[in-house]
């Protein structure tokens, strides 16, 4: 018998279940604890005769537009038994109208559940990759009067967040980033200010930034590239992307990935010209 239980915190059994899911699917990316995005909100666990078989996290705070967001995982040994549909239906019954369900890797099982529940694909986030180490990266071409330097913790947070808010006022997650969030991220093991580049003018005013990341497996990431809308149109985004790629290549990273909205055609075009190709996609259903 399957039992569904809501809780204010994720039970201790959640992390082992997610590790089994990650071993089968390659996602979610896990460290020693649950991902930060799974803190807060509400947690739903499905137990089959006392064995945890599925887990869902309902982010009740929602994205930058107030839409609640769901992460749902079914243990690989208990799929195709209706458990995913049951837990998804329970989340829909509890969530606010318009809640969005992530499917990382556009999993066919998730698509089948979504179809059965009458959900539609409302967002596609491309994962693009390219190899590094071939020496084929062009040098950054900076607009006149613009130079690059690295981020200084305790000094640059306000300026970066101001640019971020202007650049990503349309984005469901990035647009909600605050100074408090940035400072908290500076305490994460992967944070490295030497890989966080700022484009500044002659007065040291921040015009844009490229925040890189390195994953536990050594792969680099174009984590965020943001340019003040007032400084767009002069190739600043491309230059910032390149300075980060050169940094990752010089550090010996074998490859680099990035995430970009599939309907952000100008950005997809820039990344394609820089040698990136689609490798996967994460989608949202609602």
Half-sphere exposure of residue 124, counting CA atoms within 13 Å on the CB side?
16
> In this structure, what is the dihedral angle of CA atoms 144, 149, 153, 158, given to the nearest 10 degrees?
10
**String of DSSP letters for 71-100:** EEEE-GGG-SSSHHHHHHHHHHHHSPTT-E
Please say whether the beta carbons of 276 and 128 come within 8 A. Answer: yes
> Residues within the annotated binding site?
32, 72-74, 80-85, 173, 213, 221, 225-227, 232-238, 259
Residues 6+ apart with CB under 8 A from 140: 148, 238, 239, 240, 242, 243, 246
Q: Helices 265-273 and 236-250, interaxial angle, to 10°?
A: 40
C-alpha radius of gyration, the chain, whole number: 20
* 32 alpha-carbon distance from chain centroid: 19
DSSP H or E segment with residue 198: strand 196-200
Nearest to 152 by CA among 189, 198, 205: 198
> Residues within the annotated binding site for acetyl-CoA?
72-74, 80-85, 225-227, 232-238
**CA terminus-to-terminus distance, the chain:** 28
């Amino acid at each position: 018998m399957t039992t569904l239980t809501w809780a204010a915190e994720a039970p201790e059994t959640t992390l082992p279940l997610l590790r089994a899911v990650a071993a089968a699917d390659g996602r979610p990316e896990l460290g020693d604890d649950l991902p930060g995005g799974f803190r807060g909100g509400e947690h739903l666990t499905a137990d089959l005769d006392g064995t945890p078989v599925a887990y869902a996290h309902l982010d009740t705070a929602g994205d930058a537009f107030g839409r609640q967001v769901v992460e749902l995982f079914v243990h690989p040994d208990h799929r195709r038994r209706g458990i995913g549909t049951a837990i998804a239906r329970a989340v829909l019954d509890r969530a606010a109208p318009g809640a969005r369900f992530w499917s990382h890797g556009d999993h066919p099982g998730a698509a089948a559940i979504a179809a059965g529940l009458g959900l539609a694909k409302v967002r596609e986030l491309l994962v693009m990759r390219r190899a590094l180490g071939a020496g084929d990266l062009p040098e950054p071409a900076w607009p006149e009067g613009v130079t690059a330097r690295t981020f200084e913790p305790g000094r640059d947070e306000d300026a970066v967040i101001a640019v971020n808010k202007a650049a990503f006022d349309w984005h469901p997650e990035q647009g909600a980033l605050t100074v408090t969030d940035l400072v908290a991220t500076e305490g994460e093991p992967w944070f490295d200010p030497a890989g966080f580049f700022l484009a500044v003018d002659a007065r040291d005013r921040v015009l844009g930034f490229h925040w890189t990341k390195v994953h536990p497996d050594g792969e680099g990431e174009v984590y965020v590239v943001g340019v003040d809308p007032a400084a767009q149109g002069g190739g600043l985004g491309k230059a910032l992307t390149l300075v980060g790629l050169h940094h990752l290549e010089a550090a010996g990273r074998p490859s680099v990935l990035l995430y970009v909205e599939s309907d952000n055609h100008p950005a997809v075009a820039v990344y394609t010209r820089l040698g990136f190709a689609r490798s996967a996609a994460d989608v949202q259903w609602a």
